[in-house]
Structure 1
Amino acid sequence: MQTDIIDRLLDAATAHVPFDGWSHAAFAATARDAGVDIAVARAACPRGAVDLALAYHAAGDRAMRERLEAADLSNMRFRDRIAAAVRYRLEAGEPEMVRRGMTLFALPQHAADGARALWQTADHIWIALGDTSDDVNWYTKRATLSGVYGSTVLYWLGDDSLDHAATWEFLDRRIDDVMQIEKLKAQVKDNKLASALMAGPMAIIGQIRAPKRDDDLPGHWSGTR
């Protein structure tokens, strides 16, 4: 029932958010147009427009996952699969709705919500691509992809090239940068001197584990491997 209400609100929000942002006024007008009593809308979204904006972001994540599940990425290089996932996620959003969301989550009181939503998008992408890491790599993968996705969103919002061609080129460059870092990490690991120097720090880092539950963020420390 609550999901149906939020879906109705999101459908109606497209007529108001581009003009009024994710604001109290837009939320009230959205509820009115959706035929949802404002008290019922508040029950579904206790913080009003903030929760509705987060619901819009989550809906984009779902659309991306569904598109990834339906696509055949088997013949793609892994870096191209990542690029496809980021592209699918961007194409799941409407630019002005996303722009207004970034304005909302740039506010100090909502910055944590925005960072969490960005992290969840990166998490969804890695899970969809089959990531099974359970150590510090769980965090570094998501942190790196969050940076790639966040910077690409900003570029996308200002891109007026045909079919956002410039954005996809920008995305490819960002992923290439990340791949160079991964290549450097592999070279350091293969270097005996560097490996010896990093043995102590790596032993400590090796104790880091990925979260086991949604309420276990940001993970836990294990005394054993």
Structure 2
Amino acid sequence: MASLARTVPRRALISLQSLRTSSTRPVRQSLQSLQPLQSRTQPHHLHLQPQIRPYHSTLHPRLPDHEYNNSQIAILSAALPHIPEHGFSAEALALGARDAGFLDVSVQLFPRAEFDLVLFWLASRRGLLRAKVEEGALFRRVADKSGRDASSFSTEEKCRILVMERLKMNSDVKGQWQGALAQMSLLSNIPVSLTELHALSNDILSLSDDSAVDASWYSRRLALSAIYASAEVVMTRDPTPDLSETEAFVNRRFEDKEALKQKIEGVSQCVSFVGNTAVGVGRSWGLKI
């Protein structure tokens, strides 16, 4: 419960790419009112517009954003500490409204009800993950534990670290996560849930310095999304306090992914070799190919 006292740090809220409001000035006033959930000691800049990746065309449609006004952000932020006990529920929302100085009836501000609390949790944890990497603390901490230099981590190693760090952010709500997964699996909620999952995998690869722009751009994100989604299910049944079983599962999945990638590359190289050989033989026979 101690970690949830700082559940929405200022830099995490600032770096949320999925939360937008109509103006920046009221947001500053709202953020100032969220003590003690946020620290006042860190510098901040508001970046409310989602970033556009260099790989995306300007003609490519943007992913839909989760739009919340100032009152909704205040209620959702105050509701997060109640999730471990009350889950992603209307009761947690009502308690958050009271803590933020609103009436219980204010939960009607959320058309998607409890699912908005799930989305806000996902977006805020994603923002917190980005803030940790931008501050340089995450990779440095892991490097110090392993006796390595943080600059020596490969892209895949960074992906594994970020996946596990994101999963560990769910530790305090692990007992309630099956309820969140159930809400995300509802037919009407699946598109937005998949959008958030894609945003997470895209962020993880971006933070891992994966700058490759090729035909596998989408397949890498799909593979990482599949690994993370399956690891979340394993996490809900992991009895270990440090999620060691989940970490072992994640490591196996990454190894399987690399093995599958090598097999696919091997098959493609074989097909290419056979094709080039056939073309060479045909030309030696006088065929115009």
Which category of TM-score, normalised to the shorter sequence, fits these structures? 0.7 to 0.9
Name which of structure 1's ranges 18-27 and 64-73 shifts more when overlaid on structure 2: 18-27
Q: Match of 1:130, SS?
A: coil
Report the TM-score when normalising by structure 2. 0.59
SS in 2 for 1:191: helix
Q: Is the alpha carbon distance of 1:35 and 1:84 closer, same or farther for their aligned partners in structure 2, counting shifts above 3 Å?
A: same
Structure 2, unmatched stretches of 5+, are 1-25, 32-70, 141-149, 277-289
Which residue of the other structure, out of 159, 176, 185, is the alignment partner of 1:82? Answer: 159
Q: Is the 8 A contact 2:90 2:107 kept in 1?
A: no
Residue 242 of structure 2 aligns to a residue in which SS? helix
Task: Report SS of the residue matched to 2:152.
Answer: coil
Would you say the 8 A contact 1:105–1:111 is kept in 2?
yes
The structure 1 residue matched to 2:248, chosen from 166, 169, 173, is: 169
Give CA deviations for 1:163-185 in whole Å, capped at 9, x if unaligned: 21111111100000001111112
Among residues 128, 134, 141, which one is paired with 2:220 in the alignment? 141
Q: For the structure 1 residues 101 and 176, does the alpha-carbon distance in structure 2 shift closer, same or farther, using more than 3 Å as the test?
A: same
Contact 1:12 1:33 in 2 (8 A): yes
One of 207, 211, 234 as aligned partner of 1:132: 211
Q: Which residue of 1 aligns with 2:92?
A: 26
Q: Secondary structure at the match of 1:74?
A: helix
Contact 2:160-2:251 within 8 A present in 1 as well: yes
Q: 1 CA distance for matches of 2:274 and 2:76?
A: 52
CA distance in 2, matches of 1:7, 1:162: 31
Deviation of 1:22 (Å): 2.8
**Structure 1 residues 46, 168: closer, same or farther in 2, change over 3 A?**
same
**Contact 2:198/2:221, CA 8 A, preserved across alignment:** yes
- 2-structure distance, mates of 1:88, 1:10: 23
Could you tell which deviates more after superposition, 71-80 or 51-60? 71-80
Identify the residue that residue 117 of structure 2 maps to in structure 1: 52
Aligned residues: 196
Residues 6, 138 of structure 1: alpha-carbon distance in 2 compared, 3 angstrom cutoff = farther
What CA deviation, in whole Å up to 9, does each residue of 1:177-210 have, x standing for no partner? 001111112223332546749xxxxxxxxxxxxx
User: Aligned to 2:250, what secondary structure does the other structure show?
Assistant: helix
CA distance in 1, matches of 2:75, 2:167: 21
2:155/2:209 contact within 8 Å kept: no
Cα distance in 1 for residues equivalent to 2:104 and 2:214 = 45
Tell me the TM-score normalized by structure 1: 0.74
Shift of 1:119: 1.3
Partner of 1:201: none
Greater CA deviation, 122-131 or 7-16? 7-16
Identify the residue that residue 96 of structure 1 maps to in structure 2.
175
Change (3 A) 1:135 1:193: closer
- Whether the aligned pair in 2 keeps the contact of 1:119 and 1:142 (CA below 8 Å) is yes
Shift of 1:122: 0.5
Measure, in 2, the Cα distance between the counterparts of 1:57 and 1:11. 12
Q: Distance in 1 between matches of 2:207 and 2:275?
A: 35
CA-to-partner distance for each residue in 1:67-101, whole Å, 9 max, x for gaps?
23312442223322111010111122332353332
The residue that corresponds to 2:130 in the other structure is 65
Give the match's secondary structure for 2:151. Answer: coil
Q: Which has the larger radius of gyration?
A: 2
Distance in 2 separating the partners of 1:193 and 1:76: 33
Structure (1/2) with the larger helix percentage: 1
Change (3 A) 1:40 1:80: same
Instruction: List gaps (5 residues or longer) in structure 1.
Output: 198-225
* Counterpart Cα distance in 1 of 2:126 and 2:265: 31
Q: 2:233 aligns with which of 125, 146, 154?
A: 154
